Amino acid sequence: MLAVLAPGQGSQKPGFLTPWLALPGAEARLRWWSALSGVDLMHLGTAADAEEIKDTAKTQPLLVAAALLTAEHLPMADVPVVAGHSVGELAASALAGVLSAEAAITLAGVRGREMAAACALEPTGMSAVLGGDPDEVIAKIEAAGLYPANRNGAGQVVAAGSLDGLEKLAAEPPAKARITALKVAGAFHTPFMAPAEEALGKVAAGIVPAAPSKIQLSNLDGTAVEDGAVMLQRLVRQVTAPVRWDLVMQTLADLGVTAIVELAPAGTLAGLAKRALKGIEIVSVNTPDDLPAARDAIARHVAEGHSHEPHPEFSVVVAGAAGVFAPAADLAVGAKIADGQVIGAIQTRQGPVEVAAHGAGVLVEWLAHHDDPVAPGQALARIGGQI
C-alpha cells in the first residue's frame, strides 16, 4: 500500500517551482490559483528569495499550490492513502476529494493571511526540541508555560508560545535534548492563533465538502476521517490544535503502508518517515525529473493486491461535550477495552458525562489526560487492534 504526503510550512525553497513551469498548463494553473489566493504564486515559486517566501501569508498558499501542481502529474486515482502536514492538509483534502482545488487554494490564502495577522498581535515564537525522553520533553515544555505545537515523531517536538517561555525552555532544556529556535512569525497551532481560526471558520462555512474518496489521515489524532464535513471542521480547528504527525506515521504503519511519495517541495516528511518507518520505500518529488520514479512506485505498490478501500484497525474515542476530562483511574496504556466500556468522564456544568469506547481493542494511547479541558469532538483515547 502507498501513501502520498503533502508537506507543510518550512519545506519551501527559493525557486523550487521553476522547473515545473516547463510542463503544459502549469503557468496558467498558477496564475489562476494566484487570483484565488491573493498572492503571486508565479513570482513566489520562481524569483522570490528565502526571506520573502518565509512570510506566512505567502508561504501557505504557495505550498498548497505546489503540492496540487505536482499531484496533477501523478496517477492519483490509484493512490489509497493521503495526508498532509499542517497547511499540507488542505492539499491532501483536495487530493482526497473533500475539497476542490480552488477551495483548497482559497482557504490556504485566508489561512496564511489570518495566521500572519494573529502573529502580529503578540510576540510569540517556536523552538524545535530534538531528542530527550518524550514524556520529559512534554513536561518541560508545559512547565515553561508553552504548548507542544508539533509532535513530529522521530524524536522531534516543537514548542510554541511566549518568547519568555521559549527563553526559559532554552535555559532549562530536557536532558539529552537540543533546542533550536525556529525562524517563524509566531506560535502556530496554539491558542494564540484563535483569531485566525475564527476567521478561517467563517470562510469555510460557505464550502460544501464531499466525502473523501481515499483514506485521509488527520493531523489532529492520526485517524482516518470518513466524513467531509468533519474533515473541514478539523481543517479549521487545526489552526489552534497541535499537529500530531507522530500519530499519522503510526497509522501509516498500522495500515501496512509500504511506500510513500512526498509531493514538492519534498524532503521534510521523507526525512521523518525514514527515521520512524523503517524499511518502507520513500520517493521525494522535487522536480519533474522525479515523476517517473513516483509513478513507478505507485504502480508497483498498488499492484501488490491491496484494496483501494482499506480500513485502519483502530478507533478514537472523542469527547461528546465540553468540560474537564478524567480518565478511568484503573485504566493504563495496554489495557484491554470492551465494546461500550466506560473509559472516563467529562465534568460539565450540568454534571459528569461518561465516555465509552465504541468497539473492543487495546488502549494504545491517551490523547487527553486528567484535568485537561476538552471540547466536543476532541480525541481522548486511541483504541487499537481486536481482542
Print pLDDT tens along the chain (387 aa). 899 999 999 899 999 999 999 998 999 999 999 999 999 999 999 999 999 999 999 999 999 999 999 999 999 988 999 999 999 999 999 999 999 999 999 999 999 999 999 999 999 999 999 999 999 999 999 999 999 999 998 889 999 999 999 999 999 999 999 999 988 889 999 999 999 999 999 999 999 999 999 999 999 999 899 899 999 999 999 999 999 999 999 999 988 899 999 999 999 999 999 999 989 999 999 999 999 999 999 999 976 644 444 445 566 777 777 789 999 988 988 899 988 899 999 998 888 888 888 778 889 888 888 888 877 667 788 887 644
- CA–CA distances in Å: residue 5 to residues 161, 179, 204: 27, 27, 23
Dist CA 227 CA 350 (whole Å): 30
Q: For position 277, what pLDDT does the model report?
A: 93
Angstrom distance (rounded) from CA 187 to CA 55: 14
Alpha-carbon span 29 to 63, nearest angstrom: 14
Choose among 368, 355, 363, 369: nearest CA to 382.
363
What does the alpha-carbon distance between residue 167 and residue 181 come to, in Å, rounded to a whole number?
Answer: 10
CB 200 within 8 A of CB 107: yes
Peptide bond into 373 cis (omega under 30): no
CA 253 to chain centre: 16
**Contact at 8 Å (CB) between 68 and 104?**
yes
Paired with 127 in beta bridges are 159, 181
Placement of cell 481543517 in the chain: 235
Specify the pLDDT at position 311. Answer: 45
pLDDT value of residue 322: 77
CA distance linking residue 149 with residue 157, whole number of Å: 8
pLDDT at position 161:
96
All cell numbers assigned to 42: 508565479
Catalytic residue numbers, as ranges? 86, 189
| Contact between residue 321 and residue 346 where contact means Cβ atoms under 8 Å apart | yes
Measured CA to CA in angstroms, residue 321 lies from 200, 325, 353 at distances of 23, 10, 8
Q: What does the alpha-carbon distance between residue 355 and residue 310 come to, in Å, rounded to a whole number? A: 27
pLDDT for the residue numbered 129? 96
**Nearest Cα to Cα of residue 56 among 233, 193, 250, 242:** 193
Look at residues 124, 248, 144 and name the one whose alpha carbon lies nearest to residue 196: 124
CB atoms within 10 A of CB 55: 16
* Residue reference for cell 518517515: 273
